[in-house]
Amino acid sequence: MPEEVDPVSTLATAAERLIEERRAMAVTIALGYRRRRTDDIHTSETRDAFIAIQSLIEAIDRALTHEKLIMSRKPVSFAVPVVEAAPSVTHRHDSRQ
C-alpha cells in the first residue's frame, strides 16, 4: 500500500532545503564581493543560481498557500441533491366563460 503524502509537509520540507541552499549561496556571493571578484564567472553563476532558487522558493510559498486553501474548504459531496417538487397548482375553470 503506498504511503499517503502530505503535500503541505512535502512542500515545507522542500522550501526549508532550498532556504539552506540559498543561505550558503549568499555567503559565497558575499565572499566574492569581499575579494572584489564580482566579475568572476563563478560569482556570476552563483548569482544566477541564487535568483533561480529564490524564484523556486516563492513558487513553493504560493503552492503552500494554495494547498492550505484547498485543505480548509469543506468537502463537497458528489451526491445529487434531492429536488423537492413544487406544490401543484390547480386551475379553476371559470364557469362564466
Q: pLDDT tens, 19-74?
A: 999 999 999 888 888 877 667 777 888 899 999 999 999 999 999 999 998 888 76
Q: Report pTM.
A: 0.66
Q: Render 33-82 in DSSP notation, one character per residue.
A: HHTT-TT-HHHHHHHHHHHHHHHHHHHHHHHHHHHHHHHHSPPPP-SPPP
Give CA–CA dist 93/33, Å, rounded: 96
| Nearest CA among 45, 49, 44 for reference residue 23 | 49
Q: How many CB atoms lie within 10 A of CB 44?
A: 14
Residue-range domain boundaries for the chain:
7-71
